Amino acid sequence: MFKTKALKLATLAVVIGSSLTFSSFAAATTEIKAAFNQSNQHPQFIALEAFGKKLNEQTDGRYKLTVYPNELLGDQRASLELVQNGAIQMAMVANPLIENYDKTFRVIGMPYIYSGPEHQEKVFTSGTLDPLFSSTTKFGFEVLTAYTAGARSMYTKHAPVENIAAMKGQKIRVMQSDTMIKMLSCMGGTGVPMGQGEVYTAIQQGVLDGAENNEITYSDLKQYEVAPYFTATRHLMVPDLLVASSYFMSTMSKEDQATFKRLAKESTPMQFKAWNNRIEVAKKSAQEKGATFTEVDTKPFQASCNKLQAELIETPEQKALFNKIVSMQ
């Protein structure tokens, strides 16, 4: 009878999607479900897995992190809503989604706010963003840390974009964002908002002259086949943010919550390292298929975006954060 009752409890836990997994009849491990929109080979997934392993070890098995890749728990917008209502515990979401709740987040994803990956990592690991990240608890979630999504650069069909003059007349695919369209205009080109799945064919057919993204996406999607000239303009470094349910965190002991937050922050440098390693692999793979990578003086490109930066800063809070980040270069 005891075994039958235990079996029913275990079955019920599976049916209702409970976050409890029964490691024994005497103790339970809480499963932390994390939504992730990329594959299990992605540098962010690797960092999350390592974070989960350390959390399990340092809480004596009280928590087990399971990362669900490839949008198995929904896209980023849907997964953020699930975190807010406590249906799942964590998610990795792009910074623009959080901007919808607090426009101060706009600052950390502005064009040329970072001088490079070293500067971005310094900002993300300095504690400078802690007050901003904890301020979202009123929305039902807290930002634990920021991960890099790399630097977005231009890649084109006919020739490298070696200077601002070379941008004139170029039709470049951008994310569906007014800021991105304005940024391309400042640089002298034309930003064409388009879904990622349409980019390859659009460049191939001449609808676009190129696109902009990081080296990993460029290589993984084989866009070097239609746009073989990759120019490292590094115009945008949009963070991805690891968020956790405020309700879930309130169920943790103070000690476990402190461990949870600390390990999340400690995972950021490892994620940067994994990203940088993957970039080199991606570049080599694209080069072997005929892609040309060109370094360029980014200062003129940055100067072209100064007016847009000023336009995007609307509040004293945004201005103060902008100044702090720039001072860390």
Residue with tokens 């070696």, as numbered in its chain: 162
Q: Count the residues in the chain.
A: 329
Instruction: Examine residue 48 and state whether it is found in any structural domain, yes or no.
Output: yes
**pLDDT computed for residue 61 by the predictor:** 95
Judgement on whether residues 139 and 157 belong to the same structural domain of the protein:
no
Instruction: Examine residue 3 and state whether it is found in any structural domain, yes or no.
Output: no
**pLDDT computed for residue 27 by the predictor:** 53
Instruction: Examine residue 4 and state whether it is found in any structural domain, yes or no.
Output: no
pLDDT digits (tens, 9 = 90+) for 160-209: 999 999 999 999 998 877 888 899 999 999 999 887 788 999 999 999 99
pLDDT digits (tens, 9 = 90+) for 282-293: 999 999 999 999
Judgement on whether residues 202 and 96 belong to the same structural domain of the protein:
no
Instruction: Examine residue 30 and state whether it is found in any structural domain, yes or no.
Output: yes
**pLDDT computed for residue 176 by the predictor:** 74
What is the number of structural domains in the chain? 2
Judgement on whether residues 31 and 107 belong to the same structural domain of the protein:
yes
Q: What is the pTM of this model?
A: 0.82
Instruction: Examine residue 268 and state whether it is found in any structural domain, yes or no.
Output: yes
Q: What percent of the chain has pLDDT over 90?
A: 76
Range of the domain at 224: 152-236+290-327
Work out the average pLDDT over 152-163: 95
Instruction: Examine residue 91 and state whether it is found in any structural domain, yes or no.
Output: yes
Judgement on whether residues 52 and 167 belong to the same structural domain of the protein:
no
Judgement on whether residues 296 and 188 belong to the same structural domain of the protein:
yes
Q: Does the pLDDT of residue 23 top 70, yes or no?
A: no
Categorize the per-residue pLDDT at 24 as very low, low, confident or very high, splitting at 50, 70 and 90.
very low
Instruction: Examine residue 2 and state whether it is found in any structural domain, yes or no.
Output: no
Taking the C-alpha atoms of residue 268 and residue 270, their distance in angstroms, rounded to an integer, is: 5
Tokens of 175: 């994310």
pLDDT digits (tens, 9 = 90+) for 235-278: 999 899 999 999 999 999 999 999 999 999 999 999 999 999 89
Taking the C-alpha atoms of residue 42 and residue 190, their distance in angstroms, rounded to an integer, is: 30
Judgement on whether residues 257 and 111 belong to the same structural domain of the protein:
yes
Judgement on whether residues 246 and 228 belong to the same structural domain of the protein:
no
Judgement on whether residues 125 and 163 belong to the same structural domain of the protein:
no
For 209-241, letters b (16+ CB in 10 Å) and e give bbbbbbbbbbbbeebbebbbbbbbbbbbbbbbb
- Look up the CATH number of the domain holding residue 22: 3.40.190.170
Instruction: Examine residue 1 and state whether it is found in any structural domain, yes or no.
Output: no
Work out the average pLDDT over 56-68: 96
Contact criterion met (CB below 8 Å) for 144 and 239 = no
**pLDDT computed for residue 3 by the predictor:** 42
Judgement on whether residues 271 and 129 belong to the same structural domain of the protein:
yes
Task: Determine which of 19-23, 233-237, 294-298 has the lowest per-residue pLDDT on average.
Answer: 19-23
Taking the C-alpha atoms of residue 31 and residue 146, their distance in angstroms, rounded to an integer, is: 22
**pLDDT computed for residue 43 by the predictor:** 93
For 22-43, letters b (16+ CB in 10 Å) and e give eeeeeebbbbbbbbbbbeeebb
Strand 90-94 and strand 141-147: the pairing is unpaired
Categorize the per-residue pLDDT at 13 as very low, low, confident or very high, splitting at 50, 70 and 90.
very low
**pLDDT computed for residue 180 by the predictor:** 85
294 by DSSP, 3-state: which? Answer: strand
Judgement on whether residues 42 and 29 belong to the same structural domain of the protein:
yes
**pLDDT computed for residue 36 by the predictor:** 93
Average pLDDT score, the chain:
89
Contact criterion met (CB below 8 Å) for 196 and 190 = no
Judgement on whether residues 134 and 167 belong to the same structural domain of the protein:
no
Judgement on whether residues 64 and 77 belong to the same structural domain of the protein:
yes
